[in-house]
Structure 1
């Protein structure tokens, strides 16, 4: 269900910092029209850490309504508090999400046993397909292959978004549990090598602005057209890197704004791109034909 080209969709805000639902619905249409397989609201790229519970529900509900069952909706409902993650996940299920994306506990820095118990508690309490999310650069800790493999035995755990950047760890998960859990890339620039090892797709940042191109590369890999896929991968590499010249989602939201897809308004503590980085982003986007010189 949660495979292929998936977008970690941004959450647009208006100039007063309120959720811009109309722009959000338009972003969803842009994604579906360009072949995106799964919409992922309220992830890191969606500035979920700045949303209160009411806003979180509204964003997910708006996404489910606008998608209208045309593609699956994988709602971000993770938290560093297990009870909160259970509540958010149950809310998403009640609203009609097809699954939930659960970041590993951040800031607390639990042991691997603690990580296991956290995810098992959510899986035991909420009967919905669950995709785990390992991103050490955000959480301050790595969920090991052994922990992921252990969790793959739970029937509600169906996938993991791996953003550790460790191809050995990723390969270990696929080798031991690839028949029980779908591994997907959490890093655009690693999608090709990860899928070559057996990953099932990507939850992409760059797809916010180039959904058709990300889908084309994933399709080429799935069709074993590796020469085509390699050319696409190398062509997109500079743009992928540009999306991380500062903290995600600052560059991608700025890029989407430059393309007229939504506003560039961020919520504190995020701030706008530094002038030099903005100039660099514009130069790269111009080279890709995304904006005029």
Structure 2
């Protein structure tokens, strides 16, 4: 049986208006993700502009999303900084606000050793009853977690999986051998989802899920049915959009595209992120035309996070 943390999770953007959280837009976006069949959402990731959010805003995001999604819908709170003590405080805030699980980013800037990474994750895991997924993002954190260090973390019952930002299928297999086949392996590389799942992965956390949650759900369903050729065909529909989104720092282009999909959602990011190049707008509109149209009517049933 699938774990409830298997599937396609959207690294949700944080909408702003006049410099503040745009709460009505956030509620609409969460509701749309549920109706379009996303298996869950992640709040406060890089796509959610974590580094520019205040502590109160991070808490508010989780509370609003929980109110919009309902009690059983999977909501992962991205938490963690280069201070272990601050990371523990963030995780406690997220749990109190209604998060289902924690996506724990590794320390950035201070570049700890593998032993330091292990101590950091285990120290945080000791303080929460929520499942913890380790976010291994070497491009942002400047350190790459080894499968051996990950195995030490996985010995703690709260540490249930890892998000690998790179779609390395060989490494996916190494992690299984170092930890266990039950240890959850998700990818953040939205362009290689079918091969990653074929290699033993259980899903993905993507920024492109903001724009195409239903198409990602179809990819997931095809993979689970063993129809990997069909999954690859569906994946190819996203290739043009992936290329366009990569032209700007995440989530600049995603927010611009969302403003075309959802009336009232502004493309605004907080500094130091600035507006996308004007030439990108028409190309994004063209790529969005190839995506499935939104579902009308009632929400797609979701699995309980209990």
TM-score range, shorter chain: over 0.9
1:248 CA drift (Å): 0.7
Query: Structure 1 residue aligned with 2:249, among 238, 241, 247?
Result: 247
C-alpha separation in 2, matches of 1:163 and 1:149: 18
Q: Is residue 2:174 matched to residue 1:172?
A: yes
Q: Are the aligned partners of 2:237 and 2:290 in contact in 1 as well (CA < 8 Å)?
A: no
Residue aligned with 1:143, SS: coil
TM-superposition CA deviations, 1:205-231 (whole Å, max 9, x none): 111111100111011101111121111
User: Which residue in the other structure is 1:268 paired with?
Assistant: 271
Q: Secondary structure at the match of 1:159?
A: strand
Q: Residue 85 of structure 1: CA displacement?
A: 0.8
Structure 2 matches for 1:253-292, cutoff 5 A? 253-260=255-262, 262-286=265-289, 288=291
Listed as ranges, the gaps of 5+ residues in structure 1 are none
Equivalent residue in structure 1 for 2:53, among 51, 54, 57: 51
Counterpart selection for 2:225 from 219, 223, 226: 223
Which among 2, 5, 24 is matched to residue 5 of structure 2? 2
Match of 1:195 in 2: 197
Quote the Cα distance in structure 1 between the aligned partners of 2:63 and 2:262.
Answer: 24
Deviation string 1:149-193 (CA, Å, 9 cap, x unpaired) is: 221111000111111343322221023324342001111012111
Return the alpha-carbon distance in structure 2 between the equivalents of residues 206 and 61 of structure 1: 23
Given the two structures, how large is their TM-score scaled by the length of structure 2?
Answer: 0.90
**Post-superposition CA distance 1:263-289 (Å, at most 9, x none):** 111100001112333444344334558
Question: Greater share of helix residues, 1 or 2?
Answer: 1
Q: Which residue of 2 aligns with 1:79?
A: 81
CA contact (8 A) 1:189 1:241 kept: no
Q: TM-score, normalised by structure 1?
A: 0.94
Match of 1:98 in 2: 100
**Separation in 1 of the partners of 2:143 and 2:278?**
32
Asked if 1:128 corresponds to 2:130, the answer is yes
Higher RCO, Cα 8 Å, sep 6+: 2
What corresponds to 1:19 in structure 2?
21
1:115 and 1:259 mapped to 2: Cα distance?
A: 40
Q: Distance in 1 between matches of 2:180 and 2:152?
A: 12
1:90 and 1:171 map into 2 onto residues whose CA distance is 32
Structure 1 counterpart SS, 2:162 = strand
Structure 2 unaligned residues grouped into runs of 5+: 294-306
Contact 2:244-2:280 at 8 Å conserved across structures: no
Paired residues, number: 289
- Correspondence for 1:144: 146
> Quick one: distance in 2 between partners of 1:34 and 1:282?
20
State the partner residue of 2:43.
41
8 Å contact from structure 2 (residues 107, 141) kept in 1: yes
State the SS of the aligned residue for 1:198.
coil
Distance in 2 (alpha carbons) for counterparts of 1:288 and 1:41 = 24
